[in-house]
Amino acid sequence: MLIKKILEKINYIDFIGDAELEVDDITYTSLKVKKGTIFAAIRGFKQDGHQYIDSARKNGCEVILCEEILHPIEGLSYIVVNDTRVSMTDISYLIKKPDTGIKLLGVTGTNGKTSITYLLKSIYDYGHLNSGIIGTIGAVIGNTRTPLNNTTPESTDLHDIINEMKTKDIGTCFMEVSSHSTELHRVRNLHYESGIFTNLTEDHLIFHKTMENYYLAKKKFFYQCSQCIINIDDEYGYRMYNELKLEGKDVTSYSSKHESDYYIDKMEISIEGSKFRLTTKEQQYYIFIKTPGIFNIYNYVSAMIAASFQNIPIEECIAALESIDGVEGRFEFVPTSLDCTVILDFAHTPDGLEKVMETINQFATGRKVVLFGAGGERDKARRTLMGEVAGRYCDFVMLTADNPLGEDPVDICLEIAKGVEKYHHHHMTIIDREKAIQYLIENYESNDVILLAGKSTEPYQAVGNRKIPYNEKAIAIRAIREKEITTGKAEK
C-alpha cells in the first residue's frame, strides 16, 4: 500500500518524506521491522518507542509513525500523529483487513471470559465447525495453542492472528476483549457479530482509577457489536443493558433474578455438576452440565445464546455443552484416589474467589482449604479483600506466591493475612508455590476440599522481569501421586 493512500485515510499532523513508498506491514517492535514495514513509536508504560527509531532504521525501516521527531534521520519518512497507538491500529486495519472473511464474537467482563470462549469452541467443535480463540490461555488455531503476552494482543499482532486463522479456513474467532484493549485501541475498527458481558467487579483500578472508568471501558466495546448479550443479574450489567437498549442497540438479557430473554431457574448444584431450567420466548429446556456452580451456569447460558445467534440450534448447543467435562483449569477436578477433592481454578479476584467458594460450600462435607496469592504491582486493596473471602469461607488458608513481579511476596501474603485474620488465624505462608501444594496434599484430612486458586493454566510465575515456567496441574498431580504411593492408594 502506498504511503499517500494511507495518508488519505488517517488523521495526521505532518508528513515528511517520500509518499510514494510502498508498505505492507506495521509493527511497534523495532526488531520485527523489515523493508516495507512501518515502525510505530509507541510511548508505553515503561519504554518509549521513539528511542528505538534508529534501531528500526538499521533493520530496514523507511517509514516512522511517531508523535514527534526527536532527532531527524536522513533517508527516513515520518508520519507525525497525535496518538501513535490509534494511528497504528488504523493503519494496520487498512493494510490487513482482519475482519473481512471471518466472524468475530467477543466476550468481556471481569470474570468468565476464558471459560465462555472455550465453551463456544466446544459448541462449534461438536458441530464440526472450524473456530479459533484469542485470550488469556493463548491463541488457538487448529491444534496449536500459542501463548500471548496480553489477554487481547496489541492491534497489529491481533490482526496477524486473525488473518492466520483465515489461512487455516477458520470461519469464526472467539475473543476475550479486555478493558485495557478498548482503552488502548487494540480492538478499534473491528466489527463483532456478538458481544457478551459477564460481570464487573473491582479489578485493574491501578489502570482505570475508578469503577466508572472501568465500566465505560467495557461498555465501549459494545458499540462495535451487532448483538449485545448481557448478564443483567450483575448490577453493572443491568445498567449496561438499559443504557444500550435506550441507545437503540440490539440487546439480549439473561438472568436468574429478573424478567429476561433467557431466564434461568430451578438450579441444583452438586459435586457432579449443575442442573437448571432455561426458559426462552419459545420453549423451556432442562439442562445438566458436568461443572458445579451458579457462575458456571451463567457462562454456559451466555455461550448457548451467542452460538444460537449464529444459526446453531439451541438444542445442538445444549447437547454440545452437556457432553463436555468443562473448561481446562476452570473449576477443574484433579484426578485422585485420595480421600479428598482437589480443584484447580483461575479465581484471582475477591468476587471470583467468593463465587468458587460458594459453589464448594454446596457440596463440601469436610474442611474447605484454599491456596492462593496475589499479583505484585497490581491493585493492593483487593489483597485484604481476598483474605476476607478466604477467612470467611475456608477452614484453612495457605498463602503463597502468584506473580509477585518486583514486590516481595512475603509482604503481599502479610497483606492478605490481615483479611483472613478478621475471621480466624488458621493460615500458613509458604512462598514456594510448589512446596505449598505439596504441604497441603501431604497433610490433607479426610473429605478435605482443596482449592488451588489463581494460577490455573497460566504457564509461568512472573518474578521480577522473568517469567519462570510453571505448571500448577502437573505439580498437583505429582504431589497427589506421591501421597497415593505412600498411603497405598495408588492405582495399579
169 and 300 part of one domain: yes
The reported pLDDT for the residue numbered 143 is 87
The residue from 264, 291, 322 where one domain ends is 322
Phi, psi angles (nearest 5°) of residue 125: -60, -40
Q: What is the pTM of this model?
A: 0.93
243 and 340 part of one domain: no
Task: Decide if 492 is inside a domain.
Answer: no
110 and 37 part of one domain: no
CATH number for the domain spanning 18: value is 3.40.1390.10
Task: Decide if 168 is inside a domain.
Answer: yes
Task: Decide if 73 is inside a domain.
Answer: yes
CATH number for the domain spanning 394: value is 3.90.190.20
136 and 253 part of one domain: yes
The most distant pair of C-alpha atoms in the chain lies apart, rounded to whole Å, by 76
Cα radius of gyration (the chain): 24
Give the position of cell 499532523: 13
Q: Which residues contact 156 (CB under 8 A, 6 or more apart)?
A: 25, 26, 27, 28, 40, 88, 89, 92
Task: Decide if 327 is inside a domain.
Answer: no
Task: Decide if 354 is inside a domain.
Answer: yes
The reported pLDDT for the residue numbered 204 is 66
Burial of 71 (0-12, 13-18, 19+ CB in 10 A): exposed
The residue from 79, 95, 111 where one domain ends is 95
The reported pLDDT for the residue numbered 44 is 82
Task: Decide if 446 is inside a domain.
Answer: yes
207 and 154 part of one domain: yes
Please state, in angstroms and rounded to a whole number, the distance separating the CA atoms of residues 287 and 127.
19
Per DSSP, 200 falls in state: -
Q: Three-state SS for 172?
A: strand
CA atoms in the 13 A half-sphere facing the CB of 199: 19
The ranges of the chain with pLDDT < 50 are none
Strand segments, DSSP code E, in 396-481 are 396-399, 427-429, 448-453, 460-463, 466-469
The reported pLDDT for the residue numbered 201 is 87
Task: Decide if 165 is inside a domain.
Answer: yes
The reported pLDDT for the residue numbered 492 is 52
452 and 314 part of one domain: no
404 and 344 part of one domain: yes
What is the domain range of residue 73? 3-95
CATH number for the domain spanning 139: value is 3.40.1190.10
The residue from 287, 322, 357 where one domain ends is 322
Q: Which residues contact 42 (CB under 8 A, 6 or more apart)?
A: 28, 49, 84, 85, 88
Nearest C-alpha neighbor of 355 from the set 206, 218, 199, 214: 199
Per the CB < 8 A criterion, the answer to whether 23 and 63 are in contact is yes
344 and 473 part of one domain: yes
Please state, in angstroms and rounded to a whole number, the distance separating the CA atoms of residues 28 and 65.
9
Burial of 284 (0-12, 13-18, 19+ CB in 10 A): exposed
72 and 137 part of one domain: no
176 and 71 part of one domain: no
247 and 161 part of one domain: yes
389 and 370 part of one domain: yes
Query: Helices in 81-225 by DSSP H: which ranges?
Result: 84-96, 113-126, 155-167, 179-183, 205-208, 211-221
Domain count, the chain: 3
The reported pLDDT for the residue numbered 378 is 82
Task: Decide if 181 is inside a domain.
Answer: yes
